[in-house]
Amino acid sequence: MGAEARLIEDAERLSEAFAARSDEIEAARRVPREISDEMAKAGFYRLFVPEAYGGLEVAPAVGSRVFEALARGEASCGWVSFIGATSGTTLALIPEATARAVFSSPETLIAGVFAPNGRAERTDGGFVVNGRWQWGSGTENAQWVLGGSMLTENGELMLDDSGNPRAHMMMFAADEVEFLDTWHVSGLKGTGSTDFQVTDVFVPEERAVAFLNPQNPDRPLYQFPNFTLLALGIAAVSLGIARASIDELVALAGAKKRVGNSRTMAEKAHTQLEVARAEASLRSARAFYYAAIDAAWSRAAASERVPMELRRDLRLATNHAVEASVKTVDAMYTLAGGTSVYSSSRLQRHFRDVHVATQHIMVGPDILETVGKLYLGVPANASRL
């Protein structure tokens, strides 16, 4: 068995184990450390770390299949895995000696938030950083935490060559970060996506991502659109949740009978119609999603820049995968009737989890607006594509 097939097989195996602990994970409002350690040992956090530093540097589709498989069993584990994996790409944008020191073990977890909510004041040899960030998925289990920050010097914003404010992710050691108990939410409870903050933390310039190393290395994975890797993870988790919801409904339908009805749900025409539609919708969206990934990857693997038309298609496929997943989950939740409303119902959890996934900025409706402009030939800000 090849290394990539083994990763997917391990994800499927662990997915079943994590599903059995899903109540525990949700109650903890974070992935327990021992589960996080299992994912680290399996290699899920180093999927996109440069091979030269001990990472796996796999193709994006391999990562998506891992995240999707994990999410079928426990959505929060799939979510934290893609955050760790995508955060690992930052090692390609810092000096080699620093990257090797940060990634001192193959089980290292880096997590954080790219949004530039911090301020990094230039000082000798680095920056003094202050800030607070939301959606810090997996950060409480991480050895290193990232926080996007606006660069300042003498209190004024630092500008790039085009006159735009400079924003970089700063890399903090975990013991420099204060974690805040804010993650009281409706879904994806186990992701531990709590707020975190730093106060007057010194970050040497070599740990300011892309400050000393502004260009990605000339390797296929790092030519692939970086923001898109993040969006792909959201869609992969959503697809996994949707598949789990169909499986859950099918298992329920074979036994459940409504009051006063001698037929099971599975024997009723409406159930048959809705399940068939859900299968067609989900499989179609999934096929478009992976086809778009493969088309973009074929260009990156040939050491070419991924052209805008493929970036456009990729983000359309990604957003569509999320939307189709939500419709699938909603349909299965509705079909199950009163069973779905109980906390013990997996369908209720799928419903809550997938609707939280839709709130991430990387799959928001504005992405579709940008994509639509590109199809129509209307000027568009495609910086997030």
What is the model's pLDDT at position 120? Answer: 98
Answer yes or no: is pLDDT of 16 > 90.
Answer: yes
Q: Where does the chain hold its CATH 1.10.540.10 domain(s)?
A: 3-93
Express each pLDDT in 145-196 by its tens digit. Answer: 999 999 999 999 999 988 999 999 999 999 999 999 999 999 999 999 999 9
Express each pLDDT in 221-258 by its tens digit. Answer: 998 888 899 999 999 999 999 999 999 999 999 887 67
Answer yes or no: is pLDDT of 260 > 70.
Answer: no
What is the model's pLDDT at position 1? Answer: 64
User: Please, what is the Cα angle at 191 between 83 and 200, to 5 degrees?
Assistant: 70
At the topology level of CATH, where does 3-93 sit?
Butyryl-Coa Dehydrogenase, subunit A; domain 1 (1.10.540)
Length of the chain equals 385
Q: What is the pTM of this model?
A: 0.96
**What mean pLDDT is predicted for residues 94-115?**
96
Q: Where does the chain hold its CATH 1.20.140.10 domain(s)?
A: 224-376
**What mean pLDDT is predicted for residues 263-270?**
90
C-alpha–C-alpha distance, residues 282 and 280, integer Å = 6
- Which DSSP letter does residue 189 get? G
**What mean pLDDT is predicted for residues 371-380?**
95
Express each pLDDT in 39-96 by its tens digit. Answer: 999 999 999 999 999 999 999 999 999 999 999 999 999 999 999 999 999 999 999 9
At the topology level of CATH, where does 224-376 sit?
Butyryl-CoA Dehydrogenase, subunit A; domain 3 (1.20.140)
Q: Where does the chain hold its CATH 2.40.110.10 domain(s)?
A: 110-207
What is the model's pLDDT at position 226? Answer: 83
Give me the DSSP letters along 59-79: -HHHHHHHHHHHHHH-HHHHH
- CATH for 110-207 (3.90.1150.10, 2.40.110.10, 3.40.50.970, 3.40.50.300): 2.40.110.10
User: Please, what is the Cα angle at 89 between 283 and 229, to 5 degrees?
Assistant: 25
**Among 292, 294, 287, which residue's Cα sits nearest to residue 314?**
292
Q: Which residue has the tokens 């048959």?
A: 272
